[in-house]
Each structure stands twice: as C-alpha cells, then as structure tokens.
Structure 1
C-alpha cells in the first residue's frame, strides 16, 4: 500500500459520524424535491422548459392519453371554464374546486388544509372530467370529435357476425356515476356490448351518458351503416328449428329493421303517409 492510500484510509477513519449523517439528509432532501417536482409537473402541469424543450402537457391532454382513456374526447378549456356547463356538478364531486383547478392546470392553494391526500383530488378530478365530458360530447364540437373517432374505428367494432365489423360508440345506461361501467353501442343491430378489453371494464358509463350515442347518429345519419339485415337461423342436419321448439329461435322480429326505401323524408312509412292524406 502506498503512502497516499494509507493517508486516505486514515482520513476516512477519522471522519466524524455527523458529517456522514448530514450528507445523507441532504441526499434525502434532494430526492424529495425531485419527486415533488415530478408530481407537480405530472398532475398540475408546468410551464417550465429545460434544455431539451417543453416536457409537460395540459392535464386534459395527459388524461386522455392514458391507457384505457382512448374513448374520451379532449374537452375544450373554454367549455370547462364556463360555469353554466358545470351546473350541479359541485354537489356530486367531492373537493370540487381543487379538482377543477387540477383540470385547468391551476396551481393548488398552498394554505389549503382541507385536502387530506392529493390522490383524493386526483380521483375527484377524474370523476369531474368524466361528468363534464358527458355534457361536452353532445355539443356540436364534441359530436364532431367523437364522429371522427368513430369513423377512425377508435372504439372498436361490433362482435356480432352479421354486423360485419360495424364500428361502435361508447355509451352508458345511466347518467349518474357509480352505477355501471361503459358499454359499446352498435348502430346496425342497435344493441349494446361490453368492451372486449379489460382496460375499459372500470370506466364509468356515466362519462358518456344515455344520450350521446343516439344523438350522434341523429345529427350524422350518414354514419349509420347500410348492411343487409341477416338473422342467424339455428338448424339441425340442415333443417331449421321450429319457433315452437324449446331451443328454437325467439322474437326474431327484434332484429328486423325497416327498409329505408319504405320511409319518406320525415321518417314515416310511405303507406301510412298516404293513408293520412286520404
């Protein structure tokens, strides 16, 4: 061992314990500041840019980009900032003000002591955004966004064979949160199905509501697919099973759709319109 190495070893042995403790505390403080900075940047947004360019994004864009949130449209900030569009939501969502500030990328109040845990605000922000989203997607701007996503096939296709992979749209059977998860509505068979991917099985159906799916095809009738109406007929050795059999087909008329050629411009049967004229 050289004299220089021996001198370094003696210096380390003579080093006081309190110096090591101070260095450990400084390292812990640096780690806490780094974690806190990353959290604020992730959930509240930040305008700070580093040498590599801006690394943050608005909360709404970040939320819609998360896995399992592909069904959501990005609600315009102007819509969220209008108090009229949020009427009644403050009585449904806990920590309403803090959640709204998070959605709008506003800095949280430093002296706020009402919130026990930031994770609670995060859950409230998700619920608040979902209920705002329910109202936004029935507006002209929201319908256009969802129509584009529908045409691009972002919501998937109908599992029914005779629907020939018709695109579906998300919908809910209830308008209040916490009742049922999201379903997928097929405009061809006019039935609803559970999403095939488990990532959507915890997504609340109230975030899409009972109105959107049907209003979409009412405003954009050209999106309704024109597919020949076919109904599966069960058979044994090539012979169709009678409707009077226990395992025979039931209520096939539910699948029948009106031929568009028999309807006038108002949606009435041409025969019924002629009878009214008489």
Structure 2
C-alpha cells in the first residue's frame, strides 16, 4: 500500500514536466531531475529574470495549489515554460543532463544535417547567445561545423538561450568518441566532367600572390616606384619604361607560378 502511494506521489510530482516534454515542439528538451529543480543553488539569479518566479517554480515542481483566474494562470504558465528553459540550459551541462542529451543525439532526435556531403550526420541544438530573447535555437553539425535552422516552425520558435552557446562543445569534450571526423570535401561545379571557372580561380590566385608581393615591396620601402608604374599616365618615358618593365616581370613571374600551380 505504501509502495502504491509512493508511486502515485512520484507520478503527480513529475506531471507538469511530463506534460511539457511530451508537448509537440518540445522534443529538443530533456526532463530535468526533480532534485535539481528543488536545489535553490541551481536556480541562483533566475528570480530576477522570470516573472511570477515563485508561482512558476511551484507549477514546474507540481506544488502549485492556489486558485487563480484564467489570465493569471496563463501568465504563470508562460513564466513556468521560461523558467524551465533557463534551468534547462544549466542542467544539460551537468553529468546527468549530458547523458540524457547524448542519448537524444545518438537517436537523431534533433535531426540530420541537410548538407549532402555530411551523409545525414546527426545534429545538436545550440544557442548563439546565452541571454534570452536574442535569437532562436539553431542546429549544429559537428561534421561540417556549420549551423542550420530547424525545419519545424515549432522548433524554430524556441529561444536559443534554453540550450546555451557551450553545450554542444562540452558534450564532445565529455564524449569524444561521438565526435565525427571532419570533412574537407567541397562540391565542385563541373560541366561534362570539367571544373567550371578554373581560369577565374587561377586569376584570383595570381591576384592574391601579386598583392602579397606589393605588400612586401611596401615594407622594404619600394612602394613609390612600384605604385607610380601602375598609376602613371604618360610620364617621362625612361621612368615609365623602367617601372613598367618591373611590373611586367612581376606579372610574368606570377603567371608562370600560376601555370605551375594549375599543372599540379
């Protein structure tokens, strides 16, 4: 009989959290342990960030027993969801929280990377800010190291602060075996097997090398003669010819280097 009563009390205590986790759009969240929620140390500072803080905490821990009107109940419910999200960001970087989120990650609950070359790599939720109301939750791919918007509008409306900016990195520090090998593969546009814009890529490479050479000449105090050779308009023939020959020599050198690089 005592065991039955204990089970019933346990079910009642976790009712609000069960409802919250089971609600559509909340699949990214894990259930926070009751002992974590009832430890005031874990809630430090949140009383100034959540409206109706004590009522919201009572609702989350299922000890709320005050009769209020519908409008007030709605406000408290909104505060309870916000409070749960803020506590969630702290909980998921604990040992228990990381273990729960790791299981969700392995099951692919957070979705898969839309990038084809990542081969359906599992994603992790993350925030771009630790302060609420700055940006919505994003999905991080550990393979291409890029972030994406959730597909579902329900998930896309979740505040990113409920997961924080550090959780995904901490997870791979604790579980390094889960970190996939990085991919350096990039899609290359081709026409009938030939790379598109290969000549444009070569020209960009030559331009970059040319700019580096200009910078080295400037550092060595040779800036004036080099620049006048580019910008001079019909000056004295002897000086223009000297500078022009130097510029042509540099260009030829880079063109030769570019040809060698392209051959490789």
Of the three residues 158, 178, 194, the one matched with 2:113 is: 158
Aligned partner of residue 121 in structure 2, secondary structure: coil
In structure 2, what is the equivalent of residue 216 of structure 1? 171
Summarize deviations over 1:19-68 as a string: whole Å, max 9, x none: xxxxxxxxxxxxxxxxxxxxxxxxxxxx69xxxxx899611111010000
TM-score scaled by length of structure 1: 0.65
Q: Compared with structure 1, are the counterparts of its residues 192 and 230 closer, same or farther at alpha carbon in structure 2 (3 Å cutoff)?
A: same
Contact 2:127–2:165, Cα closer than 8 Å, also in 1: yes
Normalized per residue, the structure richer in helix is: 2
Aligned partner of residue 138 in structure 1, secondary structure: coil
Indicate whether 1:236 and 2:191 are aligned.
yes
In structure 2, what is the equivalent of residue 192 of structure 1? 147
Contact 2:144–2:183, Cα closer than 8 Å, also in 1: no
Once the two structures are TM-superposed, the CA of residue 155 in structure 1 deviates from its matched residue by 0.8
Indicate whether 1:97 and 2:54 are aligned.
yes
In structure 2, what is the equivalent of residue 117 of structure 1? 72
Of the three residues 30, 43, 46, the one matched with 1:73 is: 30
In structure 1, what is the equivalent of residue 63 of structure 2? 106
The 1-side partners of 2:72 and 2:25 are apart by 24
Of the three residues 58, 71, 83, the one matched with 1:128 is: 83
The 1-side partners of 2:173 and 2:104 are apart by 17
Q: Compared with structure 1, are the counterparts of its residues 133 and 56 closer, same or farther at alpha carbon in structure 2 (3 Å cutoff)?
A: closer
Of the three residues 37, 47, 58, the one matched with 2:15 is: 58
The 2-side partners of 1:83 and 1:228 are apart by 44
Q: Compared with structure 1, are the counterparts of its residues 195 and 56 closer, same or farther at alpha carbon in structure 2 (3 Å cutoff)?
A: same
Summarize deviations over 1:114-140 as a string: whole Å, max 9, x none: x96110001000000000000000000
The 1-side partners of 2:181 and 2:64 are apart by 50
Contact 1:170–1:213, Cα closer than 8 Å, also in 2: yes
C-alpha RMSD of matched pairs (Å):
2.7
Q: Compared with structure 1, are the counterparts of its residues 163 and 60 closer, same or farther at alpha carbon in structure 2 (3 Å cutoff)?
A: same
Greater shift after overlay, 153-162 or 219-228? 219-228
Aligned partner of residue 184 in structure 1, secondary structure: strand
Unaligned runs of 5+ residues in structure 2 are 1-7, 206-264
Contact 1:95–1:121, Cα closer than 8 Å, also in 2: yes
Unaligned runs of 5+ residues in structure 1 are 1-46, 49-53, 251-278
TM-score scaled by length of structure 2: 0.68
- Number of residues of Structure 1 aligned to a counterpart in Structure 2: 196
Once the two structures are TM-superposed, the CA of residue 216 in structure 1 deviates from its matched residue by 0.5
Q: Compared with structure 1, are the counterparts of its residues 237 and 145 closer, same or farther at alpha carbon in structure 2 (3 Å cutoff)?
A: same
